[in-house]
Amino acid sequence: MYLIAGLGNPGLKYKKTPHNAGFLAADALAEELGVRFSKRENGKVAEGRIGGEKVLIVKPQTFMNLSGDCIAPLANYYKIPPEHIVVCYDDKDLEPGKLRIRENGSAGSHNGMKSIIERLGTQNFPRIRMGIGAPAGMRLMDYVLHKLSREEQAVYSGMAKDAAAAAILLVREGVSAAQQKFSSKASKN
């Protein structure tokens, strides 16, 4: 069984912001698998299958900085090992539209990832980093929470579809197959 989480913040205020790139990936994956989200204790969860594997697609509703409070209890309940937890999240160090897939690693400056690593007690889980960039001269908090323009929405939509496809490939064939096909690939909108 796999748990594929897309990180973001709940509520209309945060919809269509760079910080919610992970939610877009989760939505794209649910659409691709033909499943719908239902509300659970700390998140929205959709259950589906990728090949022979059962998957939980999760959108934590705990706000970004407490993402681990949703993901760790679900992983524990379903006995999902860290190597089967895939996290999709925004990355300011990547150009908008690009993906980078890693088998493990630190949280960097991402508070959602810090929360997950802390709650799981490990950083050894795959992640799909989704490029949002970070323009010079703008406070990071203001940038990650700004409303996306139509042009930006098109880029993010393409990136979310690529992230969903990368997650499917990761489950089917492993991290290295997903890395080869999707890492540093710019989305086509």
> Terminal CA-to-CA distance of the chain, rounded, Å?
31
What is the pTM for the complete model shown?
0.94
Tell me the three state secondary structure of residue 40.
coil
Q: Is the pLDDT of residue 28 over 60?
A: yes
**Nearest-angstrom CA–CA distance, 2 and 46:** 12
| Residues 59, 43 contacting (CB under 8 angstroms) | yes
Q: Is the pLDDT of residue 188 over 90?
A: no
- pLDDT classification of 185: cutoffs 50, 70, 90: low
What is the DSSP-derived secondary structure letter of residue 186? B
Mean pLDDT of 174-181: 95
| Residues 70, 60 contacting (CB under 8 angstroms) | yes
Q: Between 95 and 186, name the one with better pLDDT.
A: 95
Amino acid present at 188: K
How high is the mean pLDDT of the chain?
A: 94
Predicted pLDDT at 174: 96
Domain-by-domain residue ranges, the chain? 2-182
* Multiple choice CATH, 2-182, 1.20.1250.20, 3.40.50.1470, 3.10.20.740, 3.30.160.270: 3.40.50.1470
pLDDT digits (tens, 9 = 90+) for 11-22: 999 999 999 999
Would you please indicate which residues are annotated as catalytic (active-site) residues? 19
pLDDT digits (tens, 9 = 90+) for 97-145: 999 999 999 988 899 999 999 999 999 999 999 999 988 888 988 999 9
| Residues 178, 101 contacting (CB under 8 angstroms) | yes
Predicted pLDDT at 162: 97
Q: Is the pLDDT of residue 56 over 80?
A: yes
Amino acid present at 100: R
**How far from the centroid of its chain's Cα atoms is residue 68's Cα?**
13
Q: DSSP for 75-134, please give it.
A: HHHHT--GGGEEEEEEETTS-TTBEEEESS---TT-HHHHHHHHHHT---S-EEEEE---
